Protein backbone atom coordinates (compact mmCIF):
# COMPACT_ATOMS: atom_id res chain seq x y z
CA UNK A 1 0.00 0.00 0.00
CA UNK A 2 1.01 3.59 -0.60
CA UNK A 3 0.44 5.53 2.62
CA UNK A 4 0.55 9.22 3.41
CA UNK A 5 1.32 9.82 7.08
CA UNK A 6 0.65 13.28 8.53
CA UNK A 7 2.55 13.89 11.76
CA UNK A 8 1.16 16.34 14.30
CA UNK A 9 3.00 18.84 16.44
CA UNK A 10 3.41 16.34 19.25
CA UNK A 11 5.67 14.27 16.99
CA UNK A 12 7.91 17.31 16.51
CA UNK A 13 8.32 18.72 20.03
CA UNK A 14 8.98 17.29 23.45
CA UNK A 15 6.56 16.79 26.35
CA UNK A 16 4.54 19.92 27.07
CA UNK A 17 5.62 21.47 23.78
CA UNK A 18 9.32 21.69 24.72
CA UNK A 19 10.95 23.10 21.55
CA UNK A 20 14.65 22.99 22.45
CA UNK A 21 16.65 21.44 19.60
CA UNK A 22 17.36 18.43 21.83
CA UNK A 23 13.67 17.89 22.61
CA UNK A 24 12.71 18.27 18.95
CA UNK A 25 15.38 15.77 17.88
CA UNK A 26 14.24 13.26 20.49
CA UNK A 27 10.57 13.58 19.50
CA UNK A 28 11.38 13.23 15.82
CA UNK A 29 13.65 10.24 16.50
CA UNK A 30 10.78 8.50 18.26
CA UNK A 31 8.35 9.39 15.47
CA UNK A 32 10.72 8.09 12.79
CA UNK A 33 10.96 4.74 14.62
CA UNK A 34 7.20 4.35 14.24
CA UNK A 35 7.40 5.40 10.60
CA UNK A 36 10.23 2.91 9.97
CA UNK A 37 8.05 0.11 11.33
CA UNK A 38 5.44 0.99 8.72
CA UNK A 39 8.06 1.01 5.94
CA UNK A 40 9.51 -2.30 7.15
CA UNK A 41 6.09 -3.92 6.91
CA UNK A 42 6.19 -3.28 3.18
CA UNK A 43 4.32 0.00 2.70
CA UNK A 44 5.38 2.86 0.45
CA UNK A 45 5.43 5.88 2.77
CA UNK A 46 5.18 9.62 2.16
CA UNK A 47 5.42 11.91 5.18
CA UNK A 48 4.08 15.31 5.95
CA UNK A 49 4.19 17.23 9.22
CA UNK A 50 2.98 20.24 11.17
CA UNK A 51 5.12 23.27 12.05
CA UNK A 52 2.99 25.39 14.40
CA UNK A 53 5.35 25.60 17.39
CA UNK A 54 8.40 26.11 15.18
CA UNK A 55 6.81 28.95 13.20
CA UNK A 56 5.60 30.44 16.49
CA UNK A 57 9.21 30.53 17.71
CA UNK A 58 10.45 32.15 14.49
CA UNK A 59 7.80 34.85 14.84
CA UNK A 60 9.02 35.66 18.35
CA UNK A 61 12.56 36.04 16.98
CA UNK A 62 11.17 38.30 14.25
CA UNK A 63 9.50 40.53 16.83
CA UNK A 64 12.40 40.68 19.27
CA UNK A 65 15.05 41.29 16.62
CA UNK A 66 13.06 43.61 14.35
CA UNK A 67 15.32 46.58 15.11
CA UNK A 68 18.46 44.61 14.20
CA UNK A 69 17.55 42.26 11.32
CA UNK A 70 14.56 42.66 9.02
CA UNK A 71 11.57 40.45 9.95
CA UNK A 72 10.85 37.82 7.30
CA UNK A 73 7.38 37.03 5.94
CA UNK A 74 5.31 34.03 6.96
CA UNK A 75 6.00 32.10 3.75
CA UNK A 76 9.72 32.33 4.56
CA UNK A 77 9.04 31.03 8.06
CA UNK A 78 7.24 28.08 6.47
CA UNK A 79 10.15 27.38 4.14
CA UNK A 80 12.66 27.62 6.99
CA UNK A 81 10.75 25.17 9.18
CA UNK A 82 10.35 22.71 6.29
CA UNK A 83 14.14 22.87 6.06
CA UNK A 84 14.98 22.32 9.70
CA UNK A 85 12.24 19.78 10.43
CA UNK A 86 12.90 17.98 7.13
CA UNK A 87 16.62 17.79 7.81
CA UNK A 88 16.06 16.46 11.33
CA UNK A 89 13.58 13.89 10.05
CA UNK A 90 15.98 12.66 7.35
CA UNK A 91 18.77 11.93 9.83
CA UNK A 92 16.43 10.16 12.23
CA UNK A 93 14.57 8.30 9.47
CA UNK A 94 17.74 6.96 7.87
CA UNK A 95 18.90 5.58 11.19
CA UNK A 96 15.49 4.15 12.08
CA UNK A 97 15.17 2.43 8.69
CA UNK A 98 18.64 0.92 9.01
CA UNK A 99 17.80 -0.27 12.54
CA UNK A 100 14.75 -2.23 11.33
CA UNK A 101 16.65 -3.67 8.36
CA UNK A 102 14.71 -1.67 5.78
CA UNK A 103 17.19 0.88 4.44
CA UNK A 104 15.71 3.29 1.88
CA UNK A 105 16.93 6.53 0.36
CA UNK A 106 15.22 9.54 1.96
CA UNK A 107 14.51 13.08 0.80
CA UNK A 108 12.74 16.20 2.04
CA UNK A 109 11.16 18.59 -0.43
CA UNK A 110 10.74 22.31 0.05
CA UNK A 111 7.11 22.31 -1.04
CA UNK A 112 4.72 25.01 -2.22
CA UNK A 113 0.97 24.69 -1.92
CA UNK A 114 -1.18 26.63 -4.33
CA UNK A 115 -4.06 28.61 -2.86
CA UNK A 116 -6.57 30.85 -4.64
CA UNK A 117 -5.71 34.56 -4.56
CA UNK A 118 -9.43 35.22 -4.12
CA UNK A 119 -9.88 32.66 -1.33
CA UNK A 120 -12.38 34.28 1.09
CA UNK A 121 -9.92 33.53 3.94
CA UNK A 122 -7.76 36.47 2.76
CA UNK A 123 -10.59 38.89 3.54
CA UNK A 124 -11.26 37.27 6.89
CA UNK A 125 -8.11 36.26 8.81
CA UNK A 126 -9.08 33.76 11.50
CA UNK A 127 -6.08 31.57 12.28
CA UNK A 128 -4.27 32.64 15.50
CA UNK A 129 -0.50 32.24 15.37
CA UNK A 130 2.49 33.07 17.54
CA UNK A 131 2.45 34.33 21.11
CA UNK A 132 0.18 36.70 23.00
CA UNK A 133 1.42 40.29 23.36
CA UNK A 134 0.33 43.25 25.44
CA UNK A 135 -1.75 45.84 23.60
CA UNK A 136 1.02 48.42 23.03
CA UNK A 137 3.32 45.86 21.39
CA UNK A 138 0.45 44.48 19.32
CA UNK A 139 -0.25 48.08 18.19
CA UNK A 140 3.24 48.44 16.79
CA UNK A 141 2.87 45.18 14.84
CA UNK A 142 -0.51 46.41 13.55
CA UNK A 143 1.29 49.54 12.33
CA UNK A 144 3.56 47.16 10.38
CA UNK A 145 0.47 45.88 8.56
CA UNK A 146 -0.37 42.82 10.64
CA UNK A 147 -3.81 41.88 11.98
CA UNK A 148 -3.98 41.40 15.75
CA UNK A 149 -7.04 40.66 17.89
CA UNK A 150 -7.84 41.37 21.49
CA UNK A 151 -8.10 37.97 23.16
CA UNK A 152 -9.03 39.28 26.60
CA UNK A 153 -6.98 38.35 29.65
CA UNK A 154 -4.21 36.58 27.74
CA UNK A 155 -3.52 39.67 25.63
CA UNK A 156 -3.46 40.27 21.89
CA UNK A 157 -2.77 37.66 19.24
CA UNK A 158 -1.92 37.81 15.57
CA UNK A 159 -4.45 36.27 13.18
CA UNK A 160 -3.68 35.32 9.60
CA UNK A 161 -5.55 33.92 6.63
CA UNK A 162 -5.85 30.14 6.40
CA UNK A 163 -6.87 29.50 2.79
CA UNK A 164 -7.86 26.16 1.27
CA UNK A 165 -5.03 24.07 -0.20
CA UNK A 166 -5.64 23.43 -3.91
CA UNK A 167 -2.54 21.61 -5.12
CA UNK A 168 0.96 20.81 -3.89
CA UNK A 169 3.19 22.10 -6.68
CA UNK A 170 5.93 19.57 -5.92
CA UNK A 171 3.63 16.57 -6.46
CA UNK A 172 5.35 15.54 -9.70
CA UNK A 173 8.80 15.66 -8.09
CA UNK A 174 7.47 13.72 -5.15
CA UNK A 175 6.08 10.95 -7.37
CA UNK A 176 9.39 10.70 -9.23
CA UNK A 177 11.18 10.13 -5.93
CA UNK A 178 8.57 7.68 -4.61
CA UNK A 179 8.82 5.67 -7.83
CA UNK A 180 12.59 5.59 -7.36
CA UNK A 181 12.14 4.07 -3.88
CA UNK A 182 12.57 7.15 -1.71
CA UNK A 183 10.75 7.81 1.52
CA UNK A 184 9.86 11.47 1.02
CA UNK A 185 8.97 14.25 3.44
CA UNK A 186 6.81 16.88 1.71
CA UNK A 187 4.42 19.78 2.24
CA UNK A 188 5.52 20.39 5.83
CA UNK A 189 3.28 22.82 7.68
CA UNK A 190 0.69 22.36 4.93
CA UNK A 191 3.16 23.66 2.36
CA UNK A 192 4.39 27.19 1.70
CA UNK A 193 1.28 29.10 0.60
CA UNK A 194 1.63 30.52 -2.92
CA UNK A 195 -0.74 32.14 -5.38
CA UNK A 196 -0.46 32.10 -9.16
CA UNK A 197 -0.34 35.42 -10.98
CA UNK A 198 -1.97 36.05 -14.37
CA UNK A 199 1.39 35.52 -16.11
CA UNK A 200 1.65 32.03 -14.58
CA UNK A 201 4.34 32.91 -12.02
CA UNK A 202 3.78 31.93 -8.41
CA UNK A 203 4.70 33.86 -5.30
CA UNK A 204 4.46 33.30 -1.57
CA UNK A 205 1.74 34.92 0.51
CA UNK A 206 1.29 35.74 4.20
CA UNK A 207 -0.94 32.87 5.23
CA UNK A 208 -0.87 29.46 6.86
CA UNK A 209 -2.43 26.31 5.46
CA UNK A 210 -3.84 23.56 7.64
CA UNK A 211 -1.44 20.62 7.36
CA UNK A 212 -4.19 18.01 7.66
CA UNK A 213 -6.19 19.54 4.79
CA UNK A 214 -3.06 19.65 2.61
CA UNK A 215 -2.36 16.03 3.55
CA UNK A 216 -5.78 15.06 2.17
CA UNK A 217 -5.09 16.88 -1.13
CA UNK A 218 -1.63 15.36 -1.43
CA UNK A 219 -2.79 11.85 -0.54
CA UNK A 220 -5.29 11.90 -3.40
CA UNK A 221 -2.85 13.46 -5.84
CA UNK A 222 -0.31 10.68 -5.28
CA UNK A 223 -2.95 7.94 -5.39
CA UNK A 224 -2.37 6.92 -1.76
CA UNK A 225 -4.35 3.92 -0.52
CA UNK A 226 -4.53 5.38 2.96
CA UNK A 227 -4.25 8.72 4.70
CA UNK A 228 -3.00 8.28 8.26
CA UNK A 229 -3.29 11.27 10.57
CA UNK A 230 -0.97 10.64 13.51
CA UNK A 231 -1.63 12.71 16.61
CA UNK A 232 -1.59 12.26 20.39
CA UNK A 233 -4.97 10.59 20.89
CA UNK A 234 -5.90 7.09 19.71
CA UNK A 235 -9.32 8.07 18.39
CA UNK A 236 -11.52 10.99 17.59
CA UNK A 237 -13.92 11.11 20.51
CA UNK A 238 -17.60 12.03 20.80
CA UNK A 239 -18.38 14.19 23.81
CA UNK A 240 -14.64 14.78 24.24
CA UNK A 241 -13.77 15.79 27.78
CA UNK A 242 -17.24 14.97 29.13
CA UNK A 243 -18.31 12.01 31.30
CA UNK A 244 -20.05 10.58 28.21
CA UNK A 245 -16.89 10.55 26.08
CA UNK A 246 -17.00 7.75 23.51
CA UNK A 247 -14.22 6.95 21.01
CA UNK A 248 -15.18 6.65 17.34
CA UNK A 249 -13.91 3.45 15.70
CA UNK A 250 -14.90 2.40 12.18
CA UNK A 251 -17.41 4.86 10.84
CA UNK A 252 -19.09 5.77 7.56
CA UNK A 253 -18.66 9.12 5.85
CA UNK A 254 -22.30 9.99 6.56
CA UNK A 255 -22.03 9.14 10.27
CA UNK A 256 -18.82 11.10 10.69
CA UNK A 257 -20.30 14.08 8.85
CA UNK A 258 -23.21 14.01 11.26
CA UNK A 259 -20.90 13.90 14.31
CA UNK A 260 -18.88 16.81 12.91
CA UNK A 261 -22.04 18.81 12.20
CA UNK A 262 -23.12 18.20 15.80
CA UNK A 263 -19.95 19.94 16.96
CA UNK A 264 -18.03 17.00 18.44
CA UNK A 265 -14.65 17.99 16.98
CA UNK A 266 -12.95 21.19 18.10
CA UNK A 267 -11.92 23.58 15.34
CA UNK A 268 -8.17 24.07 15.26
CA UNK A 269 -7.40 20.61 16.68
CA UNK A 270 -9.55 17.52 15.98
CA UNK A 271 -11.88 19.42 13.61
CA UNK A 272 -9.47 19.76 10.66
CA UNK A 273 -8.28 16.17 11.09
CA UNK A 274 -11.82 14.87 10.79
CA UNK A 275 -12.47 17.20 7.84
CA UNK A 276 -9.27 16.00 6.10
CA UNK A 277 -10.13 12.34 6.75
CA UNK A 278 -13.61 12.90 5.29
CA UNK A 279 -12.35 14.80 2.25
CA UNK A 280 -9.85 12.08 1.30
CA UNK A 281 -12.49 9.36 1.29
CA UNK A 282 -15.23 11.53 -0.25
CA UNK A 283 -12.79 12.46 -2.99
CA UNK A 284 -12.29 8.79 -3.86
CA UNK A 285 -9.55 7.69 -1.44
CA UNK A 286 -9.95 4.26 0.13
CA UNK A 287 -9.19 4.70 3.81
CA UNK A 288 -8.51 7.47 6.32
CA UNK A 289 -7.29 6.74 9.83
CA UNK A 290 -6.93 9.15 12.74
CA UNK A 291 -4.89 7.66 15.56
CA UNK A 292 -1.98 8.07 17.96
CA UNK A 293 1.55 8.15 16.59
CA UNK A 294 2.50 4.95 18.41
CA UNK A 295 -0.41 3.07 16.80
CA UNK A 296 0.23 3.90 13.13
CA UNK A 297 1.74 0.52 12.24
CA UNK A 298 -1.16 -1.36 13.89
CA UNK A 299 -3.69 1.00 12.33
CA UNK A 300 -2.77 -0.04 8.80
CA UNK A 301 -3.38 -3.69 9.58
CA UNK A 302 -6.48 -3.69 11.71
CA UNK A 303 -9.15 -2.06 13.78
CA UNK A 304 -7.17 0.69 15.45
CA UNK A 305 -8.07 4.35 15.58
CA UNK A 306 -10.91 6.17 13.89
CA UNK A 307 -11.33 4.60 10.45
CA UNK A 308 -13.33 6.03 7.57
CA UNK A 309 -13.33 3.65 4.65
CA UNK A 310 -14.69 3.46 1.14
CA UNK A 311 -14.23 -0.15 -0.01
CA UNK A 312 -15.18 0.61 -3.61
CA UNK A 313 -12.63 3.42 -4.01
CA UNK A 314 -10.05 3.41 -6.76
CA UNK A 315 -6.50 4.36 -5.92
CA UNK A 316 -5.79 6.11 -9.20
CA UNK A 317 -4.42 9.60 -8.61
CA UNK A 318 -7.16 12.22 -8.55
CA UNK A 319 -5.45 14.01 -11.39
CA UNK A 320 -2.90 13.13 -14.03
CA UNK A 321 -1.95 16.67 -14.87
CA UNK A 322 0.59 16.83 -12.03
CA UNK A 323 2.68 13.96 -13.33
CA UNK A 324 6.00 14.98 -14.85
P1 LIG B 1 -1.54 17.69 16.29
O2 LIG B 1 -0.63 18.66 16.97
O3 LIG B 1 -1.14 16.26 16.44
O4 LIG B 1 -1.87 18.07 14.87
P5 LIG B 1 -3.79 18.82 17.75
O6 LIG B 1 -3.23 19.15 19.09
O7 LIG B 1 -4.03 19.91 16.79
O8 LIG B 1 -2.90 17.68 17.10
O9 LIG B 1 -5.14 17.98 17.89
C10 LIG B 1 -5.19 16.82 18.72
C11 LIG B 1 -5.90 17.19 20.02
O12 LIG B 1 -7.27 17.47 19.73
C13 LIG B 1 -5.97 16.14 21.07
O14 LIG B 1 -4.80 16.11 21.86
C15 LIG B 1 -7.20 16.56 21.89
O16 LIG B 1 -6.80 17.31 23.01
C17 LIG B 1 -7.95 17.52 20.97
N18 LIG B 1 -9.35 17.21 20.72
C19 LIG B 1 -10.31 18.15 20.59
N20 LIG B 1 -11.50 17.58 20.34
C21 LIG B 1 -11.30 16.26 20.29
C22 LIG B 1 -12.15 15.13 20.06
N23 LIG B 1 -13.46 15.28 19.81
N24 LIG B 1 -11.60 13.89 20.09
C25 LIG B 1 -10.30 13.73 20.32
N26 LIG B 1 -9.43 14.75 20.55
C27 LIG B 1 -9.92 16.00 20.54
MG1 LIG C 1 -0.95 19.50 19.13
Q: Which of 10, 51, 62, 235 is an active site residue?
A: 10
61 is catalytic: no
The finding on whether 248 has its CB within 6 A of some atom of ligand 1 is no
Q: Which of 9, 188, 189, 191 is an active site residue?
A: 9
- What does the pLDDT read at residue 318? 55
What domains appear along the chain, each with residue ranges and CATH number? 2-111+165-321 (3.40.1160.10)
Q: Which of 211, 235, 285, 305 is an active site residue?
A: 211
Percent of the chain exceeding pLDDT 90 equals 83
Pick the range with the lowest mean pLDDT from 73-87, 169-183, 250-264, 297-311. Answer: 297-311
The finding on whether 140 has its CB within 6 A of some atom of ligand 1 is no
State the pTM of this model.
Answer: 0.94
Give the separation between CA 162 and CA 271, rounded to whole angstroms.
14
Residue 110 has pLDDT above 70, yes or no: yes
pLDDT tier at 268 (50, 70, 90 boundaries)?
confident
Residue 312 has pLDDT above 80, yes or no: no
pLDDT tier at 316 (50, 70, 90 boundaries)?
low
3-state secondary structure the chain: CEEEEEECHHHCCCHHHCCCHHHHHHHHHHHHHHHHHHHHCCCEEEEEECCHHHHHHHHHHHHHCCCCCCCCCHHHHHHHHHHHHHHHHHHHHHHHHHHCCCCCCEEECCCEEECCCCCHHHHCCCEEEEEEECHHHHHHHHHCCCCEEECHHHCEEEEEECCCCCEECCHHHHHHHHHCCCEEECCHHHCEEEEECCCCCEEECCECCCHHHHHHHHHHHCCCCEEEEEECCCCCEECCCCCCCEECCEECHHHHHHHHHCCCCCCCCHHHHHHHHHHHHHCCCCEEEEEEHHHHHHHHHCCCCEEEECCCCCCCCCCCCCCC
**To the nearest whole number, what is the mean pLDDT of the chain?**
93
Q: What is the mean pLDDT of residues 190-205?
A: 97
Residue 323 has pLDDT above 50, yes or no: no
- What does the pLDDT read at residue 322? 46
Residue 22 has pLDDT above 70, yes or no: yes
Residue 290 has pLDDT above 50, yes or no: yes
pLDDT tier at 321 (50, 70, 90 boundaries)?
very low
* Ligand 1 pocket, mutate which of 229, 233, 260, 293 (most atoms under 8 A from CB): 233
Amino acid sequence: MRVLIALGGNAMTGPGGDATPQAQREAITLAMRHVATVVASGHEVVLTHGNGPQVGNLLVKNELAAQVVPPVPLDWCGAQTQGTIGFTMLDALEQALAAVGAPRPVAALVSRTLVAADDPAFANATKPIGRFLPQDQARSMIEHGETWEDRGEKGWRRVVASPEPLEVLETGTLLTLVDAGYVVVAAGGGGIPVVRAADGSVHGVEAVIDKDLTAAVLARAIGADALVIATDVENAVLGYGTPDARPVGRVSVAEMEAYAAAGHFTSGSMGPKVEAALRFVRDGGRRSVITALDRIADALGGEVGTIIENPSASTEPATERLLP
